[in-house]
Amino acid sequence: MRGLVRVGLAVLVVLWILPFEIVPALEEPIREAIGPQPWTIVSELCQLILSAQEWVRGDGLVPSVVAGIVLAAAWAISSFHRAGDDAPAPAPAGPRTVRGLVVNVEFTNTWVGDKPLFVVTVTHPGPNGMSTSVAPLAAPAEQAPFRGGSVMVTPVAQSAEVTLAPDPYGLHDPDGSLRYAAPGVWR
């Protein structure tokens, strides 16, 4: 529908700007270019403009008002249909990752590779309001969590458990790279 309104607006503008004598000569090429289906509505709009031009051939005020009303109606129809396109997309079917607030951090004094392992207590939005979860987190020492910082929380499907990941845009322990460096690793 929006494409049809755009075509109608373009034809209206062209027909209104062109002298009256040129309009009948252009009607057939436009009909061939657009095709038979949308031409019926466009043709009716053209006939409306042509009859308005004939009706008030010498006066410029009434044709301008008529064209303005037609263009405003077409614009309103186009805007109405465009508003439906802005509807939000449906939520993804899988688990949704959210940002959670770190309430407590316990360093286990173990490393997974060169990443320190923490047990983190985090509050986060859940399906029934705010939830509190406790889960392990292995993060690079530069992204070590600390109380008051944030981590990314992803619920595990069909379970009450969550997985944690460092928040790439959140606050991290400023001394984490020194405090939690793996043994034998110089930073």
Mean per-residue pLDDT of the chain: 75
93 falls within a domain: no
CB 122 within 8 A of CB 170: no
Half-sphere exposure in the Cβ direction for 147 (13 Å, CA): 5
How far is Cα 178 from Cα 38, in angstroms, rounded to an integer? Answer: 71
In a domain, 174, yes or no: yes
Cα–Cα distance for residue pair 61/46, rounded to 1 Å: 19
Please report which residue ranges of 35-148 form alpha helices under DSSP H.
36-55, 61-85
Same domain for 11 and 74, yes or no, is yes
Q: How confident is residue 145, by pLDDT bands cut at 50, 70 and 90?
A: very high
Chosen domain end from 85, 114, 137: 85
Residue 126 lies in a domain: yes
Q: Of 100, 93, 147, 141, which is closest to residue 124 (Cα–Cα)?
A: 100
Query: Do 155 and 114 lie in a common domain?
Result: yes
- Is residue 115's pLDDT more than 80? yes
Measure the CA–CA gap between 91 and 93, rounded to whole angstroms. 6
pLDDT given for residue 43 in this prediction: 65
Better pLDDT: 39 or 91 = 91
| 3-state SS class at 44 | helix
Reported as half-sphere exposure (CB side, CA atoms, 13 A), residue 187 has a value of 14
Structural domain that includes position 124: 98-179
Q: For residue 91, is it within any domain?
A: no
Based on the domain organization, do 41 and 112 belong to the same domain?
no
Task: Kindly report, residue by residue over 71-99, the tens digit of the pLDDT.
Answer: 667 766 766 655 555 556 666 666 788 99
Asked if residue 90 belongs to a domain, the reply is no
103 and 175 share one domain: yes
For the ranges 44-53, 63-72, 76-85, 168-177, the one whose mean pLDDT is highest: 168-177
Q: Assess whether 169 and 120 both reside in one domain.
A: yes
End-to-end Cα, the chain, rounded Å:
63
Same domain, 65 and 133: no
- What pLDDT, on the 0 to 100 scale, is given for residue 2? 55
SS3 state of residue 54:
helix
Q: Is residue 78 part of a domain?
A: yes
Q: Give the pLDDT confidence score for residue 28 in this predicted structure.
A: 66
**119 domain residue, yes or no:** yes
**Same-domain check for residues 69 and 109:** no
Residue range 150-161, pLDDT digits in tens: 999 998 877 778
Assess whether pLDDT exceeds 90 at residue 137.
Answer: yes
Task: Please report the pLDDT score of residue 12 as a whole number.
Answer: 58
59 and 132 housed in the same domain: no
54 domain residue, yes or no: yes
Q: In this model, does residue 14 exceed pLDDT 80?
A: no
Residue with tokens 């009607």: 27
User: According to the model, what pLDDT value does residue 100 have?
Assistant: 93
Element (H, E) at 176: helix 176-179
81 with 7, same domain: the answer is yes
Total domains in the fold of the chain: 2
Same domain, 102 and 74: no
Answer with the one of 51, 85, 119 that is the final residue of a domain: 85
